[in-house]
Amino acid sequence: MTTIIGVESTEGCVIVSDSRVVADGKVYNHPNMVKAIQNGNYVIGGAGDYRALQVVLHGWTPPLVTTKAKQNLYEFVINKVAPSLKTTLTEAGIEFTKSSDDDSSKFELSLLVGINGKIFEIDSDFSVAMNKDGLYGIGSGGDYALGALYAGVGAIEAMEVAAINNNGTAAPFHVFEQYVK
């Protein structure tokens, strides 16, 4: 249970995460249990399988963003970032396919990755997407926050809307800004 939003503009991007972690019916809220971080030239926020997210946030070394990579960041994320994520998760023993046909045991991980002020959404199958409107929302409260963003409220207000409507979302909210370089 999570809400992560991203807002991209011509100046850069902001990624905002909530603080509540819900696992197996238990609620956790501790400053060390984050769902978004800044890692070098990257801002990364995620929702879904929390163990996988921990590996991404605390065990992944993202590829270096070169001058050539900045020329086509979308292609760079498809060809370098997504495969690097998959390799790190595989090496950490994360299972992408579960043995059950039950949808609740299906591997789910959604990431918002900011690079050089641009946001990329990476899904469980490591596909990469971008939104021309520059608005993103993932996690159990993502749709509420995204609707609020489209209605014209700011990022923190959108997170507050998600927290009111989704019991998996709670303050404090963590804001990561990144500017185009």
Would you write out the chain's pLDDT as a tens digit for each of its 181 residues?
A: 799 999 999 999 999 999 998 877 888 888 888 999 999 999 999 999 999 999 999 999 999 999 999 999 999 999 999 999 999 999 999 988 755 566 666 789 999 999 999 999 999 999 999 999 999 999 999 999 999 999 999 999 999 999 999 999 999 999 999 999 7
Q: Say whether the peptide bond before residue 172 is cis (omega within 30 degrees of 0).
A: yes
CA distance 123 to 47: 10
- Domain count along the chain: 1
Residue 28's pLDDT is: 87
Instruction: Give me the amino acid identity at 80.
Output: K
Q: Determine phi and psi for 12, rounding to 5 degrees.
A: 160, -150
- What pTM did the predictor assign? 0.94
Q: Could you tell me the residue range of the domain that residue 66 belongs to?
A: 4-179
* CATH number reported for the structural domain that contains residue 167 in this entry: 3.60.20.10
Q: Are 124 and 48 in contact (CB under 8 A)?
A: yes
C-alpha–C-alpha distance, residues 161 and 110, integer Å: 20
Q: Where are the beta strands (DSSP E) in 9-161?
A: 12-17, 21-23, 26-28, 36-39, 42-48, 109-115, 118-122, 128-129, 135-138
> Is the sign of the CA dihedral 144, 146, 147, 151 positive or negative?
positive
Predicted confidence at residue 119, as pLDDT, reads 98
